[in-house]
Amino acid sequence: MSGRLTANRYGKHQVRVSKIRRPRRAPANQERHEFVEYAVDVELEGAFDVAFTAGDNRPVIATDTCKNTIYVLAKDHPLDTPESFGVAIVEHFMGRYEHVSRCVARLTETVWDRLNDSPHGFVARDRATPTARVELARGGQPVVNSGVEKVLIAKTTESGFVDFHRDDLRTLPDTDDRILATQLSATWTYAGEVADFAAAREAIVNALLGRFLDHYSRSVQETLYLMGQAALEACADMQEITLTMPNKHHLLANLAPFQRENANEVFVVTDEPFGYITGTVAR
């Protein structure tokens, strides 16, 4: 048999955990709860080669054990931010298992907003989902990246796309007035210690959204760059931000066969194929 094992990593994905944060010593129906939910991916690297190459499972921390660990850690941790829980997870694995050389945790939060100011009723926000990625290598410090995904934003004017490359395969006409719609996702790194991850994320998202609106967009590319700059201005701790802005096309519907004018009113909304634009802006 030939072929060497050159890299490996394993773990558990989509470990979904929720937690009720409750003030102490109140009867259950008088407590004002907070409700948090994360989906956690955890992956390990280390001295696991023999499991792949020799069927020797002795070093393998079962992915089932990884799953149990998340629930045990959730009991002891406030789950205040995905970043801080991610740090607790990677520090646990690195602290407990000497043969693990690197641990990565990725977390996605389901945000539960209070429903009608109820002490115990919540409604899930399915947009602007906080994300975090924490990596800890042996001998190093946890590296925290934060992010946000599923920010579905649109503007119905103040966007155009003209003068793009001309050749015999181009059919798209120039337009100086179009819908610009995207499902933004972003991840960013920090230069140093961050006191408040949630506040940083809020400032960054507000800056991204404000800049999305505040100019005439000549392309998704230009708007992405301007948004990245705005985020860097809004968060002094941020080192670098990567934005992904799929172009959610709204194409003018052709109503001519039906003897109707269509002055930028009715559009065909397409999911696929879609333009995919990504870029990184650093300080």
Ligand X SMILES: O=c1[nH]c(=O)c2[nH]c(=O)[nH]c2[nH]1
- As to burial, measured by CB atoms within 10 angstroms (0-12 exposed, 13-18 middle, 19+ buried), residue 171 is exposed
Q: How far is the CB of 254 from ligand X (least distance, A)?
A: 17
Tell me how many degrees the CA angle 9-12-3 measures, rounded to the nearest 5.
Answer: 25
93 sits near ligand X (criterion: CB under 6 A)? no
Residue 165 bears catalytic tag: no
Q: Which of residues 40-79 bind ligand X (CB under 6 A)?
A: none
Catalytic residue selected from 33, 120, 155, 249: 249
Indicate the residue among 131 and 219 with the shorter CB distance to ligand X: 219
246 sits near ligand X (criterion: CB under 6 A)? no
275 sits near ligand X (criterion: CB under 6 A)? yes
Maximum CA extent, the chain: 74
Window of 50-58, 215-223, 225-233, 262-270 that interacts with ligand X by CB under 6 A: 215-223
Q: How far is the CB of 243 from ligand X (least distance, A)?
A: 13
Q: Which of 100, 104, 220, 230 binds ligand X (CB under 6 A)?
A: 220
Indicate the residue among 131 and 247 with the shorter CB distance to ligand X: 247
Bridge partner list, 37: 18, 110
Window of 16-24, 60-68, 214-222, 250-258 that interacts with ligand X by CB under 6 A: 214-222
35 sits near ligand X (criterion: CB under 6 A)? no
Q: How far is the CB of 47 from ligand X (least distance, A)?
A: 46
Q: How far is the CB of 255 from ligand X (least distance, A)?
A: 22
Cβ atoms of residues 34 and 46 within 8 Å: no
Catalytic residue selected from 12, 19, 92, 248: 12
Residue 12 bears catalytic tag: yes
81 sits near ligand X (criterion: CB under 6 A)? no
- The reply to whether 156 sits in an annotated binding site is no
Q: How far is the CB of 190 from ligand X (least distance, A)?
A: 30
Q: Enumerate the active-site residues.
A: 12, 63, 249
Going by the annotation, the residues of the binding site for O2 are 63, 247
Residues in the annotated binding site for urate: 63-64, 161, 178, 220-221, 247
